[in-house]
A and B are shown apart, each in its own frame.
Chain A
Amino acid sequence: MGLLTKKDASLILDPLADNNPITIQVLGICSALAITAELKASVVMAVSVMFVLGAGNVVISLMRNIIPSKIRIIVQLIVVATLVIIVDQVLKAYQYELSKTLAVFVGLIITNCIIMGRFEAFALANGPWKSFLDGIGNSLGYGVILIIVGFFRELLGSGTLFGIPVLGDPIEKTGLYATGYENNGFMIIPPAALIVVGIIIWVQRTKNPALVEEN
């Protein structure tokens, strides 16, 4: 018997495509718009969310039978916030440089609707192992979109990838810029992310018409 049953594997794989948190469930759009102006920030955010969602789903799943339903949202919030703060404090004490990079993401992680959404929709009704897989799967699906959007926004908006110039120097006019190409300043402002996400959704629904809602 493999480590993952077929059902378990689909928990990880489904959110990557046909049940993607951003393009299908439309969760976590806010952070997808806010931090995808560069690729590095997208990757950092994807990894952070993977950790918090994986761990948070397990904790909520373990507590699912004792959480009073009236205050379950507050309980979920406390769990996320506690996890994030613990990670932040430990990093500050032992990996100070890394914690500086992550500091801006802390608030964005706590309020990320994917996290609350998966707690509410999955972890409250399923066991810890399944919830863990669901958390990893959804954060991967989220991360994939973030990285695609970050890739195009940084490439077209700044002409760099991970901060490294790949199209030449826009001021000295070398490389591609010598031909008259210019960076598109629009790509680094948040509305551009909306358009890139829109194009991804369009491509995805064209390839798989079953995803299109009927009117």
Chain B
Amino acid sequence: MAIDTDKNSYTVIFAALMVVVVGSILAFLASALRPNIEENERFEKQQNILYAMGVHQNGDDAGSVNFIPTDKVEGEFKNYIKEQLVIEGDKTSANEEAYLIDLKKQLAAKKKGLPYKLPLFIGEKEGKKFYILPMYGKGLWDAIWGFVAVDDAMTVQGVFFDHKAETPGLGANIKMRYFMDDFSGETILKGTQYAGISVAKGNNDPLNKTKDDNEVDALAGATITGNGVSAMIKATVNLYKPFLETIRAK
């Protein structure tokens, strides 16, 4: 039996059927895989937070990023992260699940003038305290995010950046060690102002020896991603300014 594939009714029925079939395949797949995916995302967040405070398995060479393996990360996260705080207006409370707060949603709520929560993590390693702030911003194509760890004097102890869809080989290199490592030792203060850290082109310091200039060397060919990183750090620092002030006052 030959089907007349040019008929309008056939076209409409075919389209409707295709939508139903494809829709159910994808819906089934998404709900079947959700628990696994969520667990992976949870481990990833813990790995990223620990990475920012310097708990990782990186070698001494400036090679690849090596996280704490997923099977150990939960234990290590409990070991190193002493406090998880949620800042809501002027109130600060402890919350064991603060790391699961989706910063994107909170920032969207802030934009609309609704109440919002800011997570913050206090880690301790070898007797030293780390204050780890989550960051969220815009790159060239899509979202970028990360974590920055500072000490009581507002010196950066480590950062972690990640991105959704920056260009491979260019903007995507913000998650490379040679970029992230440059931030360690920089200060987010300029005098008494919270200036953040800029990703600067032509700062004449490619080896990043000057640590008090609030600048790190940019990635060639990734200007907009770099500007996004600068803006993200600045926004985060401003967002957490009231809390950071209380740490410095201590």
Hey, which bits of chain A sit against chain B, CB under 8 A? 34-38, 40-41, 44, 65-71, 74-75, 78, 82, 85-86, 89-90, 92-94, 96, 103-105, 107, 153-154, 163, 171, 185, 188-189
* B170 pairs with A188, CB closer than 8 A: yes
- Cα of A35 to Cα of B25 in the assembled complex, Å: 31
* B29 pairs with A37, CB closer than 8 A: no
* B165 pairs with A71, CB closer than 8 A: no
8 Å CB contact of A171 from B25, B168, B206: B206
Q: Which residues of B contact A70 (CB under 8 A)?
A: 6, 11
8 Å CB contact of A35 from B5, B22, B30, B169: B169
- Cα of A155 to Cα of B149 in the assembled complex, Å: 35
* B169 pairs with A86, CB closer than 8 A: no
A67-B14, A92-B40, A93-B40 given as contacts; is B33 within 8 A of A154 (CB)? no
Closest to A82 in B: B22
B193 interface residue (CB < 8 Å to A): no
Chain B's interface: helix, strand, loop or mixed, by majority? helix
A34-B167, A38-B169, A93-B37 given as contacts; is B26 within 8 A of A82 (CB)? yes
B36 interface residue (CB < 8 Å to A): yes
B115 interface residue (CB < 8 Å to A): no
B181 interface residue (CB < 8 Å to A): no
B213 interface residue (CB < 8 Å to A): no
A69-B5, A89-B33 given as contacts; is B168 within 8 A of A104 (CB)? yes
B5-28, CB under 8 A of A: which get 1 and which 0?
110001100110010001001100
- Cα of A36 to Cα of B221 in the assembled complex, Å: 13
